[in-house]
Structure 1
Amino acid sequence: MGIELNHTIVGARDKHESARFLADVLGVEVGAETGPFVPVVLDNSATLDYMSQSDVRPQHYAFLVDEARFDEAFGRIRDAGIAYWADPGHQTPGEINHRWGGRGVYFDDPDGHNMELLTKAP
């Protein structure tokens, strides 16, 4: 077997709220709570396992999506009034980027994690 990411733990003040936020943006379901984790399962079976923590240190999570899924997710971001940026440093508000011939957007989750959707990767 090759190497693949299986899961990562994502710290959250409220694991249910944060998992639901991401699942809603991506258009996927929140998995069943298992022990201290609330999983969001991606199409490649990797999971983001949300775990409640009092001290959350924001991280960056990037999701490679196809054009149709980008349109759907970006529409949900705009419809929900979620602030978004074209860059990871949040210097270009209200815009998307066109890196590598695709589209990308950054937005924060409820805990300040810097989430990214992109249609092309380098």
Structure 2
Amino acid sequence: MTATFNHMIIPSKDAQLSARFYVELLEAEMAPSWGVFHNITLPDGVLLQFAAPPIEFVPWHFAFLVDEEHFDRAYALIQSRALEHWADPQRTRAGQINTEHGGRGVYLLDPAGHYLELITRPYI
């Protein structure tokens, strides 16, 4: 069996809030939760587990590849909630999306302060 990505724990100040945010933005599914973990599954079966860590954490960057229709729905959600977003990772092009790499992309922060990127085409 080759290695495949199975799950990751994402530190969050409010695990339940973060899980709901990702479910809505990524059109993911809630999964059974246990202990300190609030869990969701992505369409490919990857489990994302949200938990409040016992220490301060440095924000992480997560990039998700979505199709064009999903991007439209996610961007409409971003706009309807007036979420801050940028066309670039340096946050210099506020309120915009990019059209780099033959697709579209947008950057935003999740409720815990992690940096999210939605793209419609992979970089390589």
Q: Determine if the TM-score, normalized by the shorter chain, exceeds 0.5.
A: yes
Instruction: Tell me the residue number matched to 2:80.
Output: 79
**1:49-60 equivalent positions in 2, closer than 5 A:** 49-53=49-53, 54-60=55-61
Contact kept? 1:98, 1:104, Cα under 8 Å: yes
Q: How far 1:97 moved relative to its partner?
A: 0.8
Instruction: Tell me the residue number matched to 1:65.
Output: 66
Instruction: Tell me the residue number matched to 1:39.
Output: 39
Instruction: Tell me the residue number matched to 2:99.
Output: 98
Percentage of matched positions with identical amino acids: 39
Instruction: Tell me the residue number matched to 2:23.
Output: 23
Instruction: Tell me the residue number matched to 2:119.
Output: 118
State the Cα deviation string for residues 85-107 of structure 1 (Å, max 9, x = none). 01112121011111210000010
Unaligned 5+ segments in structure 2 are: none
**Structure 1 stretches of at least 4 aligned residues deviating more than 3 Å after TM superposition:** none
Give the Cα separation in 2 of the matches to 1:21 and 1:45: 18
Instruction: Tell me the residue number matched to 1:10.
Output: 10
Give the Cα separation in 1 of the matches to 2:41 and 2:29: 8
Q: How many residues align?
A: 122
**Normalising by the residue count of structure 1, what TM-score does the alignment of the two structures yield?**
0.93
Q: Please provide the CA RMSD for this pair.
A: 1.2
Q: How far 1:32 moved relative to its partner?
A: 2.1
**Normalising by the residue count of structure 2, what TM-score does the alignment of the two structures yield?**
0.91
